[in-house]
Amino acid sequence: MTLYQNIYVRQENGSQLLAILIDPEKFEMEHAFAKAYLEKIPPQTTHLLVGGSTDCQNRTHDVVLLLKKHTTLPILLFPGNHHQISSAADGILFLSLLSGRNAEYLIGQQIKAAPVLAQTSLEVIPTGYILIDGESHTAVARVSNTLPMSQKNIPEIVHTALAGQFLGKQCIYLEAGSGARTPVSSAIVNAVRQAIDIPVIVGGGIRSRLQMEAAFEAGATMVVIGTAFEEDCWNALS
């Protein structure tokens, strides 16, 4: 079974998938750090995501290799640009920024990544990426030079997700941006869930178990959490 089939089947079974996002720029390249980090993630974690809006020192591959030594969880790349590809990972969320109107992040980066991906055995998961206003200036908005969609404009967000499904995306990622003050609302997650059949990934600004559970209850297939673990505030807030 492919990684995607596994995600889809688990969605159909009503399982809740939890991905922990590791930003290569903030990860220390030491076995002890990796081991301690992986020990503190919740036992229900199903996937690791590796990536960020930037990876100035090109650490993605080394971080994936290090993680692989300490975990059997599947590692999905979550790249901010075409340089963040590691053949050591298991798959890649092949993101296309559907909420913005910057062709570079809609198709430009993907064209640059394509010949590199063709040389690997990474499973490519076409993913429609929708940036939604989380009431903070996010790296995604800055790097992609696009505006997030307003949380109030639920119909437009739903239509964007639906267009993504019709374009053949296998997942829709509703993103409030890393460190967002406000996560994507339950109303948005629920409306998107009702409109499409493919898995819905929700991330950005989720800092407590309550917020995670709210996203699942609204219909998220997978919740992604990064900052709360980097800052070690998860236990404090849960």
Which spans of this chain sit near ligand 1GP (rule: CB under 6 A)?
A: 21, 175, 178-180, 203-206, 224-228
CB of 87 to ligand 1GP, least distance (A): 22
Select 126 or 204, whichever has its Cβ closest to ligand 1GP: 204
CB of 226 to ligand 1GP, least distance (A): 3
Query: Which H or E run includes 37?
Result: helix 31-40
Name the token pair of 67. 């993680």
- Of the candidates 4, 177, 172, the one whose C-alpha atom is nearest the C-alpha of residue 74 is 4
Distance CA 176, CA 94 (A): 18
- Of the candidates 48, 49, 55, 53, the one whose C-alpha atom is nearest the C-alpha of residue 25 is 55
Phi, psi (5° rounding) for residue 183?
A: -70, 170
Phi, psi (5° rounding) for residue 92?
A: -140, 130
CB of 231 to ligand 1GP, least distance (A): 9
Distance CA 7, CA 182 (A): 26
